[in-house]
Amino acid sequence: MIIIMNLSIILIILSNMMMFLSLILSKKSFIDREKASPFECGFDPKSSARIPFSLHFFLITIIFLIFDIEIALIFPMISTFLMVNMIIWTKISYFFMIILILGLYHEWNQNMLKWTN
């Protein structure tokens, strides 16, 4: 136990020294408005160079991420099926599934599951 604590303290000190050293040796850059602006032959840009961001696509990716985490939480429940008390396992599984179904119902009521607006 003492070896692990000493090793972790040494690693924390070493990582902090490396970060401090990188701050000291890093190239200093001063952001200038002229240097940061886009260059188009001396003229001001006619339109924005960025594509408009789709908020709907972002929300769909968040829903997919939540779905992915739900699957990652369900897999251990399946693998512990034969190792635990069946009554407790069933109660926990039902409780977890009810929470997931309530979340799906809330997303449905908010019209988050429609692909087109």
Average pLDDT over residues 103-111: 85
Question: What is the structure's pLDDT at 16?
Answer: 94
Which pTM does this prediction carry?
0.47
Short-list 56, 36, 33, 67, CA closest to 114: 56
Q: How far is CA 3 from CA 9, 14, 72, in A?
A: 10, 16, 34
Question: What's the pLDDT score for residue 116?
Answer: 67
pLDDT band at 14 (very low <50, low <70, confident <90, very high): very high
Confidence at residue 39, expressed as pLDDT on a 0 to 100 scale = 64
**2-11, 51-60, 75-84: which has the minimum mean pLDDT?**
51-60
Residue 43: φ, ψ to 5°: -100, 155
Q: Are 107 and 63 in contact (CB under 8 A)?
A: yes
37 or 14: which leads in pLDDT: 14
